[in-house]
Structure 1
Amino acid sequence: MTNIFKLPNNLNHLEKFEQIVTGENIQIERIISTGQTTTSGQWYDQNTDEWVILLQGEAELSYADDMRIKLKAGDYLLIPAHTKHRVEYTSIEPPCIWLAVHGQM
């Protein structure tokens, strides 16, 4: 058994991606962010839908149409496949803990 809120001892301000479940049509991962953002000029453009919930911390996402969304613990959203988006902000203290589900929804 593992606890979703237990942080690794050696995080050292790095971003960590952990696969929880991987199947034919689904992937569930825990992401721990400590101040990371998307590189300037880069956009995520994923082939699958992504449902994401921010379990801890604060974050801000932006979309190619200039829409911005501020997230706090407990907020979740669905990012449809091929929706260009980027991470503008993630809190350092506390670190962001995300749960992301990728697949066809």
Structure 2
Amino acid sequence: MSGNLFDGLPEGALEAERINTLCARPGVRIERIVSTGQSSPPGFWYDQPDDEWVTLLSGSAALRFADEDSPRVLKPGDWILIAAHRRHRVDGTDTDVASVWLAVHLNPPD
């Protein structure tokens, strides 16, 4: 199995983020996420049962954690490890350039 993380990027805005599972094995799931201006709904927080390592490959994004006062602004090359059950949300993504994320979920539930 092989591919290119930048193949098939949208020319314009998507209605919703596009999530593609690239590989899934016991204990790990790797996803490509493409955002074009999306953000988490007001009041919504992710609370995932697994650790998630994520890096931003293109575009920009603002990632907010419930236990922090201000969002973290991410640019290409930035990565972060989000611990299981650490509440977080996406405050916004680039509207001019597709924001391509690579997410690795560690020990995801079956």
TM norm structure 2? 0.87
Gaps of 5+ in 2: none
For 2:39, the equivalent position in structure 1 comes to 37
The amino acid across from 1:91 in the alignment is D
SS of alignment partner, residue 23 of structure 2: strand
For 1:75, the equivalent position in structure 2 comes to 78
Q: Deviations over 1:68-102 (max 9, x none)?
A: 21000000000000000000010022110000000
Identity of aligned residues (%): 43
Q: Name the CA distance, whole Å, in 2 between partners of 1:11 and 1:27.
A: 28
Question: How many equivalent residue pairs?
Answer: 104
Q: Name the CA distance, whole Å, in 2 between partners of 1:54 and 1:42.
A: 21
Q: Name the CA distance, whole Å, in 1 between partners of 2:87 and 2:54.
A: 15
Please report the RMSD computed on the Cα atoms of aligned residues, expressed in angstroms: 1.6
For 2:60, the equivalent position in structure 1 comes to 58
For 1:21, the equivalent position in structure 2 comes to 23
Say which structure is richer in strand: 1
For 1:3, the equivalent position in structure 2 comes to 4
Q: Name the CA distance, whole Å, in 1 between partners of 2:20 and 2:12.
A: 13
Instruction: Please state if 1:94 is matched with 2:100.
Output: no
1:45/1:10 Cα in 2 relative to 1: closer, same or farther (>3 Å)?
A: same
TM norm structure 1? 0.91
Q: How far has the Cα of 1:2 moved from its partner?
A: 1.6
Gaps of 5+ in 1: none
